[in-house]
Structure 1
């Protein structure tokens, strides 16, 4: 029977069933669209209101070294975005540290209910390779805030020389900043944290503590970062019962402003690093935000002597 005759032969209710699917599809699409819009609205509201309290940096006094630029500055941004309003930016040049603080406050107050007067962000000049300079910096922190809760030792340098050509004065400088500077920072942090009941210290290491980077030669840097990693583990055990936690954050290849400038003149090196990284790309500085807040906040309160690698999978192959 022809379709048209079949349609006329069916009762009216049957004809309604035949025509129903198109309307059902339209109705279902509309329902899905409405449901999706509702879920998006709920998710947006939940992101603002519902955040695990342990990740908050509110009411914590934080100190970050090497923080006027690079990864240190990104750590500062992450803390401020997580509610930190009391922050000491420590760097070699105090004017640059102060400028970084002003930029952070300006960004934090844009499109928010916060006002500049809500923040106590100070810039402190300090040469981390000098024990006396680090002691003076922490004295200023305590004079300003009266306590210190989270400290990140981020100051560091990297240079590429072959082992035979590496000048001794450059090796000594690298160790003074990367290793001794991390130790001085951690020690002064702990001295001030223990009387108040504890705190969190994060030493910024590198995936280079675990692997040998190629193709660039950087033996002293790799060894220095391995020292920092083991230093953190050793201090963690020494201070564990005193309430001071010490962990290591080890980034992989990160696209900081300095790195971008270097790689702009060496695209082949960039391709090499990306090809060796399972995720096929270099990290953005923001990729470290969650990890640094986790380590510095109460969210990691039962974690000490550990290393968190953020390297796109570089070290697992």
Structure 2
């Protein structure tokens, strides 16, 4: 028996690539052998992601896009294929969070987050899936959250939790719909992760309270989401579809 193949060969598309987990994943895919199209809002973060991919020795493409704009998402994926080649891998990481008590949360705030965190994932998967179906298949990973399976103690983010739960059901549904057509769809659900947002002064005092409740007694670094993502994208996970891989230091177990 040969060793499992964890390498990537071909073109990858990463949404939310300008920072945090998305940026780490974009560089990790490049280090694993993929050329990477980095999608996010235009700005320095997107430029840094492209430079980091190129620094890893792979081709990169900056793709400024609003993931809630279906026509723009479709055109962006088409551009990726025109400029880099057939799409083989995709990671959907674009998302926001802005908590508020449920009783005072406006419908506009609720809808905006769901539009980005859930509808945006669907629009991205749809565009990626269309491209992959046209040339024989591919592999998609959606970035979920432990907030899909728990209600985080002390956090007022009913819209975020609901949207992430929707991402997991979307992942399962797409996986089964496309299972016999060459596309695998899986999810990685991070636990508490030390992204730049979490480390900001206004958030850190609140977030650090969770560390004693994590069995591994620390938060994850964004780079620790790379290995699970690469695994699910790669041929080493050829029989995995519809899976949700919790990467949470054991937090959900308690």
Say whether the fold is shared (TM-score over 0.5): yes
1:20 aligned residue: none
Provide the residue aligned with 1:257 in structure 2. 196
Gaps of 5+ in 1: 1-50, 109-113
Aligned partner of 2:239 in structure 1 is: 302
Aligned residues: 253
Q: Per-residue displacement from partner, 1:97-118 (whole Å, max 9, x unpaired)?
A: 2342113323x2xxxxx5xxxx
The equivalent position to 1:160 in structure 2, one of 79, 99, 102, is 99
1:51-87 Cα offsets, whole Å, 9 max, x none, are 9561111x32000001011110000111122122x11
- Report how far residue 170 of structure 1 moved: 1.3
CA distance in 2, matches of 1:300, 1:265: 35
**Cα shift at 1:215:** 1.0
Report what 2:216 is aligned to.
279
Shift of 1:183: 0.2
Deviations 1:191-231 (A, max 9, x none): 01012111001111100000010111111100000000011
How far does residue 286 in structure 1 lie from its aligned partner after superposition? 1.6
Match status 1:136 vs 2:87? no
Contact 1:98-1:124 at 8 Å conserved across structures:
no
Give the Cα–Cα distance (whole angstroms) in 1 for the partners of residues 224 and 202 of structure 2.
Answer: 19
Q: Is residue 65–residue 72 contact of structure 1 (8 Å, CA) maintained in 2?
A: yes
* Pairing 1:102–2:51 present: yes
More strand by share: 2
Are the structure 2 counterparts of residues 223 and 133 from structure 1 closer, same or farther at C-alpha, using a change threshold of 3 Å?
same
In structure 1, the partner of 2:85 is 146
Q: Which residue of 1 is the match for residue 22 of structure 2? A: 72
The CA distance in 2 between the partners of 1:285 and 1:204, in whole Å, is 12
Residue in 1 aligned with 2:38?
89
* Paired residues of 1:94 and 1:124 also in contact (CA < 8 A): no
RMSD: 1.7
2:112 corresponds to which residue? 173
Structure 2: any 5+ residue segments left out of the alignment? none
CA positional deviation for 1:264: 6.5
- The answer to which structure has the higher helix fraction is 1
Cα distance in 2 for residues equivalent to 1:105 and 1:91:
17
Structure label with greater radius of gyration: 1
Q: Distance in 2 between matches of 1:248 and 1:263?
A: 29
Q: Who is 2:164 aligned against?
A: 225
Aligned mates of 1:265, 1:70 — CA distance in 2: 15
Higher relative contact order (CA 8 A, sep 6+): 2
Say if 1:195 and 1:271 are closer, same or farther in 2 by CA, change over 3 A.
closer
Give the match's secondary structure for 2:90: strand
